[in-house]
Amino acid sequence: MTDVAKAWSEFCRGIEAAGQEVLRDTAPDTPLDRAEGFRYLARLTREMLYSCVDNADPDFPRLHELDLVKIGADNPDNVYLSANIRGDRSYRITGERGTIAYFSIGSKANRYAKDGTMASTGELTDADLVAEPDGTIEIIASATQQGRNWLPLAPDSTGLVVRQTYLDRTTETPGQWRIEQIAGPTEPAPLTPEFMAKALRRAALSVHGTAATFAQWTELFMTKPNELADFGQDMFQRAGGDPEIYYLHGYWTLRPGQAWLIGTEVPDCPYWNFQLDNWWMESLDNHRRITVNKHTAVVDDGRLTIVVAERDPGFGNWIDTCGHSSGTALLRWLGAKSNPVPKCRVVALDSLTQGEV
């Protein structure tokens, strides 16, 4: 018989080992950064336990909102939903579009616990969806095509990810979505020691694998400090990125009194945003000015300038460093006809003039 007590001890040791990711030589060791690093692990542990234990049954899936779980440069403009599924099952997802600016749903093969990837196995965006006369939408996720809104599944599909993206949270509302397996069992199977032991192992591996993956990303971005470079889109898509989005990640580091000046042309696209993240690739506190998008930005004759600094220069699109001296950042172009790479430089904040912005 499986020893669940042993599995629990192994889980606890696995979470302890994941703490070494926070203590990497390349990671910042300020009190704020260390505290955020261990909070990040606590958040990952909470999410992976829920996903691997309570919401793991692919016959009885639930679309679960990622509440304060920030992974891989989460978008502050997004409501993320996820569910665990199997590629050999069929599922009905029903709901209403809402008024948010962008909707997508993807089936994924999640291998964060093994190799840090989450490859796409099927994608739909709001442009693909056909609604009923009453405004409701039915999506069928299955291995073979079914219905007007078909989301393909592959044999290795393990989950669904929904992105609902705001331009303006004060006026827009997200859709409400539900999921059910088609022709599945009527009641869940009883809990077994074997399931519990496997779930605990998977949760610990997922915490460590996720933390390691994005720490390695940050270390890559550190090779080009204070840039928003094109590191190639394949790695971002392999990790679960939206195929409609062009990702420009970066690492920033500033001394007191410095500002990171970012300038770019703005392409024709339905949505874009820039956000500031910590070293762990968590978006910073959204109650502060840590992001700007197509709706909220000041754009001068098609040109965008962003000022990342410890205080507001009084003009331009200021982004608050929130007490950090370093971290990561991301610029997204969604469905753009071109994907310009910004020009970036570090300047003295006190010498910055409105003409530069």
What are the distances in angstroms from CA 176 to CA 21, 82, 96, 98?
A: 36, 13, 6, 8
pLDDT digits (tens, 9 = 90+) for 17-39: 999 999 999 999 999 999 999 99
- Cα–Cα–Cα angle for 332, 237, 203, nearest 5°? 110
Cα dihedral angle (91, 96, 101, 103), rounded to 10 degrees?
0
Classify residue 149 by burial, with Cβ atoms within 10 Å: 0-12, 13-18, 19+: middle
Q: Is the pLDDT of residue 53 over 70?
A: yes
223-351 CATH choice from 2.60.120.600, 3.40.640.10, 3.40.1160.10, 3.90.1150.10: 2.60.120.600
Q: Is the pLDDT of residue 357 over 60?
A: no
Query: Distance from CA of residue 168 to its chain's centroid?
Result: 19
Q: Is the pLDDT of residue 112 over 80?
A: no
The pLDDT of residue 113 is 65
The pLDDT of residue 323 is 98
The pLDDT of residue 110 is 81
- pLDDT band for position 2 (cuts 50, 70, 90): confident
Amino acid present at 314: G
Q: Please compute the mean of the pLDDT values over residues 82-110 and round it to a whole number.
A: 95
Contact in structure between 330 and 239 (CB atoms under 8 Å): no
- pLDDT band for position 198 (cuts 50, 70, 90): very high
Q: Rounded CA gap, 334 and 272, in Å? A: 6
Neighbours of 83 (CB within 10 A): 20
Same topology between domain 3-182 and domain 223-351: yes
- pLDDT band for position 355 (cuts 50, 70, 90): low
The pLDDT of residue 117 is 80
Q: Is the pLDDT of residue 314 over 70?
A: yes
DSSP per-residue letters across 16-66: HHHGGGTT-TTS--SHHHHHHHHHHHHHHHHHHHIIIIIT--TTS---EE-
Q: Rounded CA gap, 325 and 278, in Å? A: 10
Amino acid present at 197: A
pTM exceeds cut of 0.85? yes
The domains of the chain are located at 3-182, 223-351
Contact in structure between 317 and 263 (CB atoms under 8 Å): no
Whether CATH 2.60.120.1600 fits 3-182: yes
Q: Please compute the mean of the pLDDT values over residues 152-168 and round it to a whole number.
A: 96
Q: Is the pLDDT of residue 107 over 80?
A: yes
Q: What is the mean pLDDT of the chain?
A: 95
The pLDDT of residue 1 is 62
Query: What percent of the chain clears pLDDT 70, i.e. is strictly above it?
Result: 98
The pLDDT of residue 356 is 61
Does 263 or 352 have the greater pLDDT score? 263
Query: Distance from CA of residue 58 to its chain's centroid?
Result: 22
pLDDT digits (tens, 9 = 90+) for 125-146: 999 999 999 999 999 999 999 9
Q: How far is it between the farthest Cα atoms of the chain?
A: 72
Query: Distance from CA of residue 117 to its chain's centroid?
Result: 13
Of 54-63, 105-114, 288-297, the poorest mean pLDDT is in 105-114
Q: Is the pLDDT of residue 174 over 70?
A: yes
Q: Is the pLDDT of residue 123 over 90?
A: yes
pLDDT digits (tens, 9 = 90+) for 234-285: 999 988 899 999 999 999 999 999 999 999 999 999 999 999 999 999 999 9
